[in-house]
Every structure is written in structure tokens, then in C-alpha cells.
Amino acid sequence: MALVWLWVAVCLYGLGLAYSLALLANRGERIARVAIPAVSLGLVFHFVSLVEFIVHEQLTPASIEYSESLLAFALMVLFMIVRVRYKTTSHGMFVFPLAFFLTFASIIARRPLHLEDISPVFRSWWLFAHIALIFTGYAALFLSFGASLLYLLQASRLKSKNPGPREGLASRLPALEVLDEIGYRALLLGFPFMTLGLVMGAVVAQARFGSTYFTDPKVMLSLLMWAVYMVLLYTRWSSGWRGRRAAYLATFAFLAALVAWGANYFSYVHNVERVLRS
Amino acid sequence: MNFLLTGVNHKTAPVDVRERFAIPEKRLPEALQRFASYPGIDEGVIISTCNRVEFLARSTNGSADIHGFLSEFFQTRREEFESYLYDYSGQEAVHHVFRVASSLDSMIVGEPQILGQVKEAYATARALGTVHSHLDALLTRAFAVAKRVRTETAIASSAVSVASVAVDLAKKIFGTLQGKTVYLVGAGKMCELAARHLLAHGAGSIFVANRTYDRALKLAGKFNGQAIHFDQLYETADRADIVISSTGAPHFIFRQEHAQRFLQKRRNRPMFFIDIAVPRDIDPALNDMDGIFLYDIDDLQGVVSANLADRVEEARKAEAVIADEVQKFTARLQTLDVVPTIVSLQEHLETIRQAEIDRVRGRLGTLSAEQEVAIEVMTRGIINKIMHTPITTLKSAARDQEATTVVELVKKLFNLRDKSTTAGGNSGNTGHN
């Protein structure tokens, strides 16, 4: 059943994807009216599916299947928080496609790991906490990245002396200061999650591999990403960087996160299947 | 449908003609009363604004000499003004009234004042009793149409003055103007106007810097703001979220190095510069800086004209709405013509029913509550059954040419007195549900 719910969620997220495309083409007021309720409903199904996976099928959140689906879930939850708090859906332009592809990928690349397959060392809440925290951090980072891109878009419109189309979805971009606030708050929220998540990971790895884990590429890249994250936060906090410079940094942080994520495939300590089954 | 409308507006007549027809508020009641009691006129409304004067009437028999009234009232010969007037009757008059109320006939299409002015004209006429059934229905419908146009098209949603465009832009940067600081450099009229607009939209505090300190003081006083000595301009301007500059200086007052310092002090919070001075006060290169948004007077005007072009597009959609509403209203109005007859027919039969019950009631002795009710129900039932066909016939006849004949026949059959001239708009409304 859980998989069925996940499929339903993906289909509903697909409407979100349509919304993003419509936003790019600056049309489709009607799509917005359908897409936003649809993705909200999608989120509910997504939640149901996650709970079912964990409770009924005894899968661990560390399986690839969840990683992607969980990250998509974190993204959508953040989207909803921003939507309620700032009365805007523009950030869906970036969030929806990613949420859609991640959830879709989690279904396609099914490699379920059942609890009994996993080496007892990893059957702890520490691991689950590590994953949940890191993903919230990733999601917040991505949201911040999206907000700075929207900031650039809005700023360049204002500077071009043609404040954009007067109707259509793109005319309802939030104000610059609002976008800035979304970006900054997302970073502020994400950083402690990311930091704690890394610490948890370190604790688990220390227990399993001893101190050698530290030289693993995945670990190094994650630390690099964490450092960029911190720089991003610091420049914002100390000198109020925003606009182009903030967007460059956010892009860099996002790329670092992407690389750190990708490092799963050539990492020794973080090669999920091999490690967990060992 | 005997509506007549004669008027002048900014398109048909130059201002020196329009002002001859303009009726000052004091004289309006007198004009209205004379207009409504002019031969052939049943009901009348006069809408007089600086861009238009409209005389709207319902005539008894479909013709009334409004030109004659104008010539009498303004004591001018017809030949002198007739070429400036437009005349509409029937459905065309309805169409015109709807367009005027929806601001499609305005100089600036979509401007919101006209609806208020029409509403005022209606209120005055109503207070004087010069509108009842038909004009009342027409004008109330016109207000509803104006509202529909406003919600279904974007005709009034874009800013079409320099000051309101400035407010719009500021909102795109800051989101809300609540608590934002406006800094006026120079104490000119334009500055004042823009500041007034920004304050009206919530901007918090105002600083005024001017070469003549006294004028700065004076202007700051008006807004409860703070006057700044001009030589302290660069030390204080970083406090401003919005800078409006309009000095007579021949050179740039704000250059990139200034803006750089402001941004540093403000920790890169964005600033919005509005340069309405000619020659310009602010180096256009500021616009290339991250966090600085600069609009000069041409930029603002550019946005204004783009928005105006948009309104023309929206006006096309609005015309369709109005055509639709004219259709609906005409159909409804025809029913309105038979409503007084239906009402008096109902009243007539009700009187008979009451009289008959009163007459017989004494002979029936004491009755239980149920029996009382049964008598009521029975007699009402008889009347309603009898009335059903005549009312349906009247209503459907209303849409055809034979309306008057049928109405006359019903009146004759039931010996009804003519109530059609005294029936108010309220009783009129009961008929179409």
C-alpha cells in the first residue's frame, strides 16, 4: 500500500511540475489554482506512505528508497511553511521539480532494505536522526538557494525599468525584502540541523570504523559543504550580503551539497548498501 | 424603456463648453427639480463632474425635449451648444450609463472617482424624489455592473500616475512600506506629492533636506517629519529606504561613492532612489549597483504609459461585460413594466378575501385553532390558484410587444386603479424572483 500512496503523491507532485513550467512561461493562472491544492494533497499522501513504510514494512530510513523520498518530503514541508508564513507560492518554481524527481527516483530506484538485513550497529535511532537532520539541512539550503535566484530575477526586473508583466504568475513574485528574509531564515533554520546531523553521523561512524572514517571523500566533501554553508550564513549575518553575491555563494553551497550527496557512490564509509549490510 | 440621455464630456466638448453646462452643487437641487418636472419627463438624474455633464431621464412617452430644457435652464440658444451634445435613447442610454459608471468613458480609463460621483448624483436625486422605479433600477444595476467590471477585468489594478507607480515599485522592493523611512531631497511640489502618497501607504518617518533650511522645516512640519541641514545630507541619507530627489542642482548630488557608503552603513539593505529632478540629481550609474534601485522621471513615466496601454486592453474585456449586462437589464426591465399591475392585482384580491372572511366569520361561531388555520389556507389557496395564470401571462407578455394591451385588459377586467406611476423601486423588485 505504501508504494501506491507514493505513486499518488508523485502524480500530484507532477502537477506542481506543470506549475513550475507555467511560472517560467508566465502563464497558467488556472494551473496554479489546481497545482497548489494538488501538491498539498500530495504531501499528505507522501506522509502516509512514509509512515506505512516505516511501521508496516520495517524498512529503515537509510535505504536509498527513503533517502530520496525523505528529502523530497522535507522540501515540501518547508515549502508549506513558507507558503503559510509569507503567502506566496513562487518558491514552488524550484521546489516542485526537485520534489517530483526525487520522489519519482525513489520509486524507480527501489532497493528496499529491511530491518533484518541491516547490521545491528546501524539499527539505532542515531542513524535515523543523522538522516532526518541532514535532510532538513539540505532542504533548507535548497530553499535558500531558490529564494536567492528569485531575488535575482526580481531585482533584475526592477533594474531593467520594466517591472515585469503586470499579470500572470510571474507578476506575483514576492518583494525583494521578503525573498531575502525567506532565504536568510531558511539558512538560519537549516544550519543547526545540518551541524547536528553531521555530528550524529560522526558518532555513528566513530563507533563503526574508528577514526579512519575521517579521510573518506564523502566526509571531506560534507565538511566542505558545511564550511560553505557557514560562510554563507556569516556573510549574511555580518554584512547583510544579498543580491548577486549572496546568490553566487548560495549556488556554490548548493553545488557543494550536490557533490557531497553524490559522493555516496564513491565513498567507502557511506556506501549505504554495502555498509549497512556488512 | 423610455430612457433618454443627453450630455457633454471631455471627448465631445472643450473645457470652455463643459464649464457652461457644469452645475455647481448648490444649484443642483434646483436644476434636478426643474429637469424632472419638465414636460414629458417622469424621472431625472444629473451627473455633473469636471469631465462630463449628463442629463438622464425617463420620459412618459419616449420623447422629451431635453435640448429645450438645457436652452431654458442655461439661457442659451440651442444652436450654440447642440453640436457638442450627444443623445442616446433606450438601450443605447443604458449602455452609456453602464460605461460611464464602470469608468470606461473616463479620460483615464479605469479611474475610480467616477463611480463615486455617479453614486452621489443618484443619492441627491433620490433624496429629492426625482428617481423612482425605472431610473432607480437602472442606476443600482449600473453600480453592480461597475463592480463586476472591476472584479472581472484588471482595468483598475495598475498604477497610472507617477506617484502611484513609485508606491508600487517601493512595494516590490520592500514588501510593505510600514516603518520605512522616506528622505526628501529638495522641497518641491512633486517631492511633496510623492511623499504624501508613500505616507498614505504606510511609510513611517520622513526626513527633509533642502538648501534653504527654512523650507525644509516647513515641509517637514507638514508631515511631522524631521528637517536636515543640507550639509549633513551624506551623513544622514543612509537612514533612508526611499530617497526622493528634486533639487535644482546642475550636477549630480548622489554618485556611486556616496551610495557605496550608504550601503555599507546599512549593511546592504536595499535603497530605492527616485530622481524627479531635471537636470537629474542622481548619477544613473547607481542603478548598476547591487541593492540600489534608481528610477528617474522618464522611467516612472515609462511604467505609467505601459500600464495605460494595459488598461486599454482590459477595457476591451470590460466592453464585453457591459454588452452582456445591457442585454440582461433590458430583459429584466420589460418585466418591471408589468410589476405594478401584478402588485395591484394581488392587493385587490387580498382585500376581497379579507372582506369575505370578515363577513362570514361571525356566523361560524367558535372555531378551534386548526379550523381557523384551515379557513386561511383554503381561501389563500383559491386566490393563488386563480392568480397563477394571469400573473404568468402578464410576465410573459412583458417580453412581447403586446404588454400594454394585456396590462390594460387586466386592469379593465378587475377594475384596478392605475398604480404604475406611484410604485416604488422596492415593490418593483418583488416581481422577478
Q: So what's the pLDDT on residue B429?
A: 38
Residue-wise pLDDT for B347-364, tens only, equals 889 999 999 988 888 888
Supply B400's cell numbers. 412581447
Does residue B223 form part of some domain? yes
Asked, for residue B347, whether it belongs to a domain, the answer is: yes
Which residues, numbered 264 to 283 in chain B, qualify as contacts with chain A under a Cβ-Cβ cut-off of 8 Å?
266-270
As beta bridge partners, residue B227 has B208
Name every chain B residue with its beta carbon within 8 A of the beta carbon of A239.
267-268
Amino acid at B274: I
Whether residues B82 and B106 fall in one domain: yes
Q: How far apart are the first and last CA of chain A?
A: 29
- B103, B124, B152 - which closes a domain: B152
C-alpha distance across the termini of chain B, in Å: 20
Q: Is B298 part of a structural domain of the chain?
A: no
CA distance to partner chain B, nearest, from residue A137 (Å): 26
Report yes or no: B108 and B343 within 8 Å, Cβ to Cβ.
no
The edge-to-edge listing of strands for the beta sheet with B3-9 is: B41-48, B52-59, B3-9, B86-89
pLDDT (tens digit per residue) in A43-82: 999 998 888 877 776 555 555 456 778 889 999 999 999 9
Q: How confident is the model at residue B344 (pLDDT cuts 50, 70, 90)?
A: confident
**B23 and B147 assigned to the same domain:** yes
Residues B199 and B132 in one domain: no
How many structural domains are present in chain B? 3
**How far away is chain B from the Cα of A5, in angstroms, using its nearest Cα?**
39
Same domain, B357 and B403: yes
d(CA B178, CA B401) in angstroms, rounded, equals 61
Residue at B332 is within a domain: no
The residues of B annotated as belonging to the active site are: 50
- For chain A, the domains span 1-117, 119-278
**Pair B276, B398 in one domain:** no
- Compare B135 and A250 and report the one with higher pLDDT: B135
Question: What is the number of alpha carbons within 13 Å of residue B87 lying toward its C-beta?
Answer: 10
pLDDT at A165: 57
Residues B147 and B181 in one domain: no
CB contact at 8 A, A136 and A81: no
pLDDT computed for residue A168 by the predictor = 59
How far is it, in rounded angstroms, from Cα B71 to Cα B87? Answer: 15
Q: What is the pLDDT of residue A121?
A: 59
pTM recorded for the entire structure: 0.72
Question: What integer is the mean pLDDT of B239-251?
Answer: 92
Asked if residue B148 and residue B12 are part of one domain, the reply reads yes
Looking at the structure, do residues B188 and B242 belong to the same domain, yes or no?
Answer: yes
Q: Residues B216, B99: one domain?
A: no
In a domain, B99, yes or no: yes
Rounded distance between C-alpha atoms, residue A15 and residue A10, angstroms = 9
Interface test with B, best of A176, A235, A249 (most B CBs within 10 A): A176
| Chain-chain contact of B293 with A154 (C-beta, under 8 angstroms) | no
Closest chain B residue to A161 measured between Cα atoms?
B299
Residues spanned by the domain of B116: 3-152
The continuous run of DSSP H or E covering A133 comes out as helix A125-159
Query: Is B131 part of any domain?
Result: yes
Q: Which residues of B340-369 are buried (b: 16+ CB within 10 A; e: fewer)?
A: bbbbbbeeebeeeeeeeeeeeeeeeeeeee
pLDDT tens profile B144-200 = 999 999 988 888 877 888 888 899 899 999 999 999 999 999 988 888 888 888 999
Q: Which residues pair with B209 in a beta bridge?
A: B185, B228
Q: How far is residue B240's CA from residue B26's CA, in Å, rounded to a whole number? A: 47
pLDDT for the residue numbered B126: 93
- Say what the alpha-carbon torsion angle A18, A24, A28, A29 is, to the nearest 10 degrees: 110
B201 touches chain A (CB under 8 A): no
Is the pLDDT reported for residue A113 higher than 60?
no
Q: Which one-letter DSSP state was computed for residue A113?
A: -
Residue contact B293–A159, C-beta within 8 A: yes
Give me the residues of B, 97-156, that contact A with CB < 8 A: 154
Secondary structure of chain B in the HEC alphabet?
CCEEEEEEECCCCCHHHHHHHCCCHHHHHHHHHHHHCCCCEEEEEEEECCCEEEEEEEECCCCCCHHHHHHHHHCCCHHHHHHHCEEEECHHHHHHHHHHHCCCCCCCCCCCHHHHHHHHHHHHHHHCCCCCHHHHHHHHHHHHHHHHHHHHCCCCCCCCCHHHHHHHHHHHHHCCCECCEEEEECCCHHHHHHHHHHHHCCECEEEEEECCHHHHHHHHHHHCCEEEEHHHHHHHHHHCCEEEECCCCCCCCECHHHHHHHHHHCCCCCEEEEECCCCCCECHHHHHCCCEEEEEHHHHHHHHHHHHHHHHHHHHHHHHHHHHHHHHHHHHHHHHHHHHHHHHHHHHHHHHHHHHHHHHHHHHCCCCHHHHHHHHHHHHHHHHHHHHHHHHHHHHHHCCCCHHHHHHHHHHHHCCCCCCCCCCHHHHHHHHC
* Same-domain check for residues B237 and B267: yes
At B90, which CATH number? Answer: 3.30.460.30
Q: What's the rounded Cα separation, in Å, for the pair A173 and A164?
A: 10
Q: How many residues does chain B have?
A: 433
Chain A closest CA to B267's CA: distance in Å? 5
Which position has the higher pLDDT, B69 or A212? B69
pLDDT value of residue B293: 95
**Residue contact A241–B169, C-beta within 8 A:** no
Give pLDDT, residue B184. Answer: 94
CB atoms A240 and B310 under 8 Å? no
Look at residue B305 and tell me if it is in a domain.
no
Give the type of residue at A31.
Answer: I
Lowest mean pLDDT among A33-42, A64-73, B189-198, B416-425: B416-425
pLDDT in tens, A154-204: 888 888 887 555 555 567 788 999 998 998 899 899 999 999 998 888 887
Q: Which residues pair with B295 in a beta bridge?
A: B274
Are A166 and B287 in contact (CB < 8 Å)? no
**B398 and B352 in a common domain:** yes
Task: Select from B172, B287, B288 the Cβ nearest to the Cβ of A163.
Answer: B172
pLDDT(B118) > 90: yes
Q: Is A161 on the interface with B (CB under 8 A)?
A: yes
pLDDT of B421: 41
Report the DSSP beta bridge partners of residue B294. Answer: B273
Place of cell 450609463: B97
| Structure confidence at residue A276 as a pLDDT band (50, 70, 90) | low
Question: Of residues B402 and A3, which shows the higher confidence score?
Answer: A3
Region of poorest pLDDT, from B4-8, B64-68, B395-399, B424-428: B424-428
**pLDDT, greater one: B122 or B248:** B122
Same domain, yes or no: B179 and B216: yes
Q: Searching chain A, which residue's CA lies closest to the CA of residue B180?
A: A177
Cβ-defined contact of B293 to A158 (cutoff 8 Å): yes
Task: Report the range of poorest mean pLDDT among A117-131, A237-251, B280-294, B305-319.
Answer: A117-131
- Look at residues B265, B290, B315 and tell me which one is the last residue of a structural domain: B290
pLDDT of residue B322 exceeding 90: yes
Give the β-pairing of B205-210 and B86-89. unpaired
Give the pairing of strands B86-89 and B3-9.
antiparallel
pLDDT of residue B424: 39
Domain at B233, CATH number: 3.40.50.720
